[in-house]
Amino acid sequence: MKPFSSKYPLIQTIFSKVQCYGVVFVLIPGIFVFQLAVVFPNLVTILDASIPKQITHMCLASFCFINIVGNMVLSMLIDSSVKRPNKEGTYCDYCRMMRPAKSWHCRRCNVCILKRDHHCTFIARCIGLYNQRYFILFLGHVMVSMTYATYYNYYYVSAKFEDHSWIVSAFRIVNPLLRFIIPEPMGIKDMYVVYLFMNVGLIIWSGSLFFYHFRNVVMGVTAYEAKYPELMNSVNWKENLISVFGTKWYLAMVWPLADSPLPDYVKGE
């Protein structure tokens, strides 16, 4: 039996795009706006924060936002497909040309991808040689940013509802059957608790993916090669990191637009 995506490629493509653009233009900006428009002003009032602390928080929040959006957009826009036939490598029956080593054909993108890692439905793009850096850093910055946001959201919820009534909301969200025992109507604190849970969920999601893919980079393997432990090699971990994040990896870690070129041997030049 063929998978759903093979039977209905148009529906799969539309779903991927909606999911992708929903995250880029709704979820991430929504979290950023909520933090700065709701959480931040209330914490300033509750904690009587000084101007230097407010400026520091604004700078850190902006840094997280720029790196998340920047790395995600670049991972979507930068193309890692094979542009021209290669003299050596393997032959692709779909593209009808020779492709470099570690290049694989993606049936969703309908093209061969240089050093193909996997097809990410989340951003509707294959992750390969030129955009793997941005994809992994996107996950890493989401994990750090959500940890930072969760800390302040927890502080905000616990300070706003000092009677600890939000804990009851948390239990009712985890187990909806408790609503029959605790007939309190849903209120604003339920929304805040749901938002807090969403932060924790994003930490687990992004953290799991980040550590998995970063481990593969350190080991010098793609997601497909990670199935075979004998292909992993952590001895050359520095070269493995440079082969993904570039020669100026220390700049790439903190700024998505940093010029960090890949070594010539990685590009096959």
Q: Does 108 fall in a domain?
A: no
How high is the pLDDT of residue 166?
A: 63
Residue numbers of the domain that contains 238 = 4-80+115-267
Domain tally, the chain: 1
Cα–Cα distance measured from residue 156 to residue 49, given in angstroms and rounded to the nearest whole number: 13
Q: What share of the chain is helix, strand, coil (3-state, %, to 5)?
A: 65, 5, 30
Six token digits for residue 64: 């997280």
Nearest to 170 by CA among 159, 158, 38, 27: 158
Q: Does 166 fall in a domain?
A: yes
Q: What is the pLDDT of residues 21-37, one digit of tens each?
A: 666 667 777 777 777 77
How high is the pLDDT of residue 6?
A: 47
How high is the pLDDT of residue 269?
A: 46
Q: What is the pLDDT of residues 89-136, one digit of tens each?
A: 889 988 889 998 889 999 888 899 999 999 887 777 899 999 999 999
Q: Does 46 fall in a domain?
A: yes
230 Cβ contact list (under 8 Å, min separation 6): none
Cα torsion 241, 215, 129, 68: sign: negative
Q: Does 129 fall in a domain?
A: yes
Q: Within the chain, which residues score under 50 in pLDDT?
A: 1-6, 269
Nearest to 219 by CA among 231, 208, 233: 233
Q: Does 101 fall in a domain?
A: no
Cα–Cα distance measured from residue 91 to residue 55, given in angstroms and rounded to the nearest whole number: 56
Q: Does 178 fall in a domain?
A: yes
Q: What is the pTM of this model?
A: 0.84
Label the pairing between strands 90-92 and 97-99. antiparallel
Nearest to 136 by CA among 123, 153, 154: 123
Q: Does 17 fall in a domain?
A: yes
What DSSP letter does each residue of 172-240 carry, written as one string? HHH-GGGGGTS-PPP-HHHHHHHHHHHHHHHHHHHHHHHHHHHHHHHHT--TTGGG-GGG---TTHHHH
Q: Does 106 fall in a domain?
A: no
